[in-house]
Copies of this chain bind each other. A is one copy, B any other.
């Protein structure tokens, strides 16, 4: 069997595990992505424990770790980028403005409270200021992909809560990534202040340009419609008769082939992801903005269905890859104590931040609980911060493992909490309606 045969075999194993665990998790009414994370954890740890298995399927843990462009990683990352593009396609700018106030409160408090509490927790445990600051930083950014996937499972993306959460997630991402640049500048003595300021300015310019383009594109689209209507009227006048119901001869709005439309949309999506990744924001911010930009063209260029199907194929690899970051043999009793503490602080602070933020934004109590829960999952940023800490020699190996496990642990806990809170909210509303009907 050649190298490619082994790749196919690995995919076969991972997908079979995902199917089986998915069924089990469905039975217990837990979101499928938790099953996928656990697939990754089992897969990598079986290979570490029994290296013979890895040899048999040509899966080398060492080269897998070193290879940032491993195909599983790339496919998963594309999945997240396409997911955010799809969400952007469905997000109206006016809706985002409407939920802007609560979303901003949620994002800011959801940043400040975990950062400060994480910092204090670290200091309380006797760690240095740098270590404590990084612990706080690893706690502040949520994982947009996980929350949105759970919302999609619940069919809650287009509810008012869903819109607030997506708005808060985007602001959270922007704020946290900007803050991350500043904090890693503080921690790393090699960075100078001019670079940080330049980066911040670039980010602001990018966001202003993108959002002003999005807000304008709607007006342009309306103008084009008017011009087309005028052309039609002119045509009627020229032919001298009113051809009601016979539009076949008129210049029609062209609809492109779905595959071609998808290619074009993908170029816009990847282009924006590249730009936002270049200036230090994550690629997903760019692809979300690209989705909002493309939303006005999705009738002419029908790409939505294709993107959803591609996302459904690619996204599981993201969760599997997240799970593969967990090395169970690194876990000792001392790490476990540290880890449990970190997870408790992480869950409570982000929940409290989201809940208070939502209440300040005049969101009802039951919705605020859902929103608070939705802020809990951490992901990429936690892993990035842990890596920065390790590379700069600030984190010990123990702390590195604990912080990564904290991020993944919240991602495993949160989906069930969000689902529970959402169903609770629905039940309470149904009851209120019943009561008022009586």
Contacts and interface: CB of A to CB of B under 8 A. Distances in A.
B277 A4 contact: yes
A263 B11 CA distance: 11
A8 B274 contact: yes
B15 A266 contact: yes
Copies of this chain in its oligomeric complex: 2
A283 interface: yes
Interface stretch (A43-51, A70-78, A92-100, A184-192): A70-78
Interface stretch (A129-137, A308-316, A411-419): A308-316
A262 B262 CA distance: 20
Contact of A310 (B69, B273, B313): B313
Nearest to A266: B15
A75 B16 CA distance: 19
A195 interface: no
A274 B81 CA distance: 29
A264 B12 CA distance: 11
A7 interface: yes
A223 B267 CA distance: 49
A70, A73, A74, most chain B CB atoms within 10 A: A74
Given A263-B15, A310-B309, A4 B278 contact: no
A3 to B, nearest CB: 4
B68 A3 contact: yes
Interface residues of A, number: 45
Interface in A395-411: none
Interface in A3-46: 3-5, 7-9, 11-12, 15-16, 18-19, 22
Nearest to A279: B1
Contacts of A8: 77, 81, 270, 273-274, 277, 283
9 contacts: A1-B278, A2-B68, A8-B270, A8-B277, A12-B270, A15-B263, A19-B264, A259-B309, A306-B309
Interface of A: 1-5, 7-9, 11-12, 15-16, 18-19, 22, 68-71, 73-75, 77-78, 81, 258-259, 262-264, 266-267, 270-271, 273-274, 277-278, 283, 305-306, 309-310, 312-313
A-B pairs, top 3 by smallest CB distance, nearest first, are A5-B277, A3-B68, A12-B270
